[in-house]
Every structure is written in structure tokens, then in C-alpha cells.
Amino acid sequence: MVNKKSSMFSQLIAGYLLVIATSGFARLAYGVLMPSMQEDLAINYAQAGFLATIISLGFLVISTLIAVLAQKFGIKKIVLAGGFLVTVCLFLLSFAKSYYFVMLIMFLLGAGSSLAFAPLMSLMVIQFANKKGLVLGILLSGVGSGMLLSGIITTNLSDYFPSLGWRDIWTIFGTISLIVTLLSLFVLKESENKTNTKNNQNQSISKAFKNVKIIRIGIIYFLVGVGYLIPVLFQSSFMINSGFSEKIAGNVFALSGLSIIVGSPVFGMISDRIGRKNSLLITSILCMIAGILPVLNHHLIAFVAASILFPFSLGGFLVLIQSMAAERVSPSLVPAVLGYVSVFYSIGQLIGPSLAGAVIEKFGGIQSAYILASCIFLGTLIITSFVKENEKEEVLAVQTNPLSG
């Protein structure tokens, strides 16, 4: 029992750190570095938003292949491949001078992040199925930790070492990612979960992908993907445009990361008591409020409140949606289904930044993008109201009798 607990602890730590590198640094750190990159590369808001879209495109393309890759190579190998790809791309960003070269790197960065994200969740959920909420809460808090570290590292290093630029920051992130990925290589264990026959497995996966309950979760995840990147990417620029210094904007961005760290485990525990559906309704309402506050008042308090509510709720969304998807299928289908709903999430991320950038350019202010985000989370509220709490474990298990389904 002690060895099992020790193994769980060490794997969760490695997984948590890997999420920091492959999600926090690889996908979310761009938000705090975007103003500096935008100035140095001489690009406008639409182009800056498109770079985030390219990251999401890479994430989307690979998400569609997760089930096949996991079956062929094993989940751990896929996770490690993602970690090493992210590491290489972070280092490459420090040398990039062409906007188009940055686009290519961003695409590969998104691909590496996708290789690590859903498969890592699956690896842990399968091994520690009885502690699903706790496991996902700890792992997904790594997203917020990545945001927190991004803000702290960027802001404080710039203060103490003025000569450091955004390229040096990416190098630091790459170094951390390399260390974490090497740690994961030795600590993470391949899942021992065995499936039934290949034909039964493929049939069950196909049925799960067509099931309305899984699709509905995917649609909610899609809307979260569209909406959550808006405050992440444009919060620092919104604050700077409203008269705040880059240091204050960076510190508030770091606060956002801390809020996600808290939100993931908190909503995991809350949902165990009041249910996934009610918890999703709460997160949707909080996100709607967070999108409106800075629009109504450009005061620092409004930005701080939004920077707490948005990521706190995002942490809840990630845990709740992943948990709901995993609970509706048998353990053998978890990797495929988490990869499947991540495709919806990826499409949302693909659309969100470019849509927000276009709205900002069209309507002349970042506040219009925040209003858009609030409307999007109104959509998650409406769709979640149709979810039934008793859908757990109802959808599909691997079927051995072809006449039973």
C-alpha cells in the first residue's frame, strides 16, 4: 500500500510538472509575452491573435489522432513525445525572427501540447480510477501553475535583468520543460489497462463518438475553448491600454495562474458533493460575470476580480468536463473519449483568438472581446442545463455481445 501511494504521489508530481510545461508554458505563456513579441515582430492584434490560433490548430490536428496513436505506441510514449516536442519548440522560439517561422513553431508547439495533454489525463485516470477527481484536479492545476510562473518569471526577471527579452524567457521555459520531460521519462508508468478484442474496441469507440451525451459534453468543451483564451491572451494588453504598467499587468496575470491552481481541486471537491452539472452551471455564471466587470469599469479592482473569477472557473471547467467524459465510458475507452472531446476543445481554441482579434479590430476595443466571452459562457450555461446528473457510466462499455447494444 505504501509503495502504491508513493508511486501515485511521484507520478502525480511528474504529471503536474509536465502540464506546467506543455500547457502552461507552451500555450498560455504567450499571453503575457504577446505585447513584447507584438512590438518586436511589428504585428497587429489580428496577427498576434492568429499566432494563438496556430497553436490551437496544431493542438486540433493531433487531437484527432490521439486514439490511434495511443493504441499503436502506448500512452506513455505519446506523452513523452509531446514533452520533447514542446521543449524543442520553446528553444526555437528564442531564435525566431520571422513572423512566418514563429507561425510554424507555434503550430508544432500546439501539436506537442496535444500529444501530452489528453493522453496524460488518460494515463492517470486509468491507473487511479478510484481517485479520478483528485487526480484530475491536481494535474489540471498545472495549467494555472504555468500561468502563475509565466507571469512571475517574465515580470521579475525583467526587473532584475533589464537586458533579458522575450527570447530569453522562452529559453528559460525550454530549459524547465527539458528537465520535467526527462523526469517524466523515468517516473511515469505505462497503463496496464487491457482492452478486449480490437474489433469490439473499435466498435465501442465508434458508438461513443456518436453518442449524444458525449457530443453534448464536447459542445460544452468547444465553447470553453472559444471563450477562455480571450481573457488569457488579451488581459495584459487590455490593462496596459487602460493605463496600467506592464509590471502591474504581469502581476495580475500571475494572479490568474494562482486562481486556476485553486479552482481545479476546489471544483473537483465541490462537484463530488453537489454534482458535476450544478458545478458547471456555477462556473458558467462566474465566467459571465468576469467578462462584464472590466467592461463596466476599468478600475484595477475590476481587472483583479476578473483575473480571479475567469481562471478559477476555467480550472473548474477543465476538471468537470474531463471527469464527466471519463465517467460515461468504460476505462478502456477513456483515452479515446478524452481525445475525442479534446477535438471539440481544440476547434474552440482555433476559433477563439482569431474571432476575438477580428472583433477587437472591427469594434475598436478589447472590451468587445470580453463581452463576446460572456456571451459564449452564456451558451455553456444553457447547454449544461440539459445535462442529466445520472448519466454516469450509462453510455458505453466494451461490448462483447454484438446483439446487446
Q: What is the mean pLDDT of the chain?
A: 81
**pLDDT at residue 350 in the model:** 76
Q: Which residues contact 304 (CB under 8 A, 6 or more apart)?
A: 252, 255
Kindly state whether residue 402 falls inside one of the protein's structural domains. no
Burial profile 353-373: b = 16 or more Cβ within 10 angstroms, e = fewer: bbbbbebbeeeeebbebbbbb
Q: What is the DSSP string of 292-356?
A: HHHHH--SHHHHHHHHHHHHHHHHHHHHHHHHHHHHTB-GGGHHHHHHHHHHHHHHHHHHHHHHH
Report the distance separating Cα 177 and Cα 53, nearest Å: 22
φ/ψ (deg, to 5) at 67:
-60, -45
**pLDDT at residue 378 in the model:** 93
Report the distance separating Cα 32 and Cα 28, nearest Å: 8
Q: Is the pLDDT of residue 47 over 90?
A: no
Domain boundaries, position 72:
2-191+198-391
Kindly state whether residue 397 falls inside one of the protein's structural domains. no
* 100-114, 288-302, 356-370, range with the lowest pLDDT: 356-370
Kindly state whether residue 399 falls inside one of the protein's structural domains. no
φ/ψ (deg, to 5) at 396:
-150, 140
pLDDT digits (tens, 9 = 90+) for 176-231: 999 999 999 999 988 665 444 455 556 577 777 888 888 999 999 999 988 887 88
Q: What is the amino acid identity at position 216?
A: R
Kindly state whether residue 95 falls inside one of the protein's structural domains. yes
Q: CB count, 10 Å around CB of 4? A: 10
Confidence of residue 318 (pLDDT cuts 50, 70, 90): confident
Kindly state whether residue 369 falls inside one of the protein's structural domains. yes
φ/ψ (deg, to 5) at 100:
-75, -30
The Cα-based distances of 24 to 193, 310, 328, 346, 365 in angstroms read 29, 16, 28, 16, 27
Kindly state whether residue 404 falls inside one of the protein's structural domains. no
Q: CB count, 10 Å around CB of 390? A: 8
Kindly state whether residue 11 falls inside one of the protein's structural domains. yes
Q: List beta partners, residue 154.
A: none
Q: Is the pLDDT of residue 4 over 70?
A: no
Kindly state whether residue 316 falls inside one of the protein's structural domains. yes
Give the alpha-carbon dihedral of 401, 402, 404, 405, to 10 degrees. 130
Task: Work out how many domains the chain is built from and give that number.
Answer: 1
Mean pLDDT of 336-357: 82
Report the distance separating Cα 92 and Cα 134, nearest Å: 35
User: For position 171, which CATH number holds?
Assistant: 1.20.1250.20
